């Protein structure tokens, strides 16, 4: 087996999920962010959550910035697909208020210190 054949066997070409290049993936991310941003006033009103629109927008930005260092286009596309599914479930009211409030749990609520508080919150 020649060196060229060994290299061809060792490398595998993968098909793109949605985006063909980084620019296209970035455009999809921005479109998803804008779609979520536009839906925030309706989600706050429909789910009657005890958060302001500004708090929800800050949380949206935080969640998107959490994945800012992802560079693999296939991973970005999968995150976009999951984000679109979450948005669709929220808009169609397939979620409940508790599902929306889970996004605020790690940063808004203080971590429990004693055993019973940890037990009731399901913490470690």
- Residues 81, 82, 83, 86: what is their CA dihedral angle, to the nearest 10 degrees? 130
Q: Higher model confidence: residue 53 or residue 122? A: 53
- Mean pLDDT score of the chain: 87
CA angle in degrees (0–180, nearest 5) for 47-106-73: 85
Residue 41: helix, strand or coil by DSSP?
helix
Maximum separation of any 2 CA atoms in the chain, in Å: 66
Residue 5 pLDDT grade (very low, low, confident, very high; cuts 50, 70, 90): low
Cβ-based burial of 76 (10 A; exposed 0-12, middle 13-18, buried ≥19): buried
Q: What is the pLDDT of residue 49?
A: 92
Q: Is the pLDDT of residue 108 over 60?
A: no
- pTM assigned to the model: 0.74
DSSP-derived secondary structure letter, 104: G
- The answer, yes or no, to whether residue 94 has pLDDT greater than 90, is yes
Q: Looking up tokens 């989600």, which residue turns up?
A: 43
Average pLDDT over residues 10-27: 82
pLDDT at 4 over 70: no
SS3 103: helix
pLDDT of residue 107: 55
């Amino acid at each position: 087996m020649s060196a060229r054949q060994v290299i061809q066997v060792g490398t595998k070409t993968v098909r793109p999920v949605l985006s063909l290049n980084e620019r296209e993936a970035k455009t999809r991310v921005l479109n998803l962010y804008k779609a979520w941003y536009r839906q925030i006033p309706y989600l706050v009103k429909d789910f009657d959550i005890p958060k302001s629109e500004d708090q929800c927008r800050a949380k949206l930005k935080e969640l998107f910035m959490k994945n800012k260092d992802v560079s693999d286009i296939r991973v970005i596309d999968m995150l976009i697909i999951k984000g679109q599914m979450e948005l669709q479930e929220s808009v169609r009211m397939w979620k409940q208020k508790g599902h929306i409030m889970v996004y605020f749990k790690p940063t808004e609520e203080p971590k429990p210190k004693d055993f019973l508080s940890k037990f009731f919150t399901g913490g470690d």
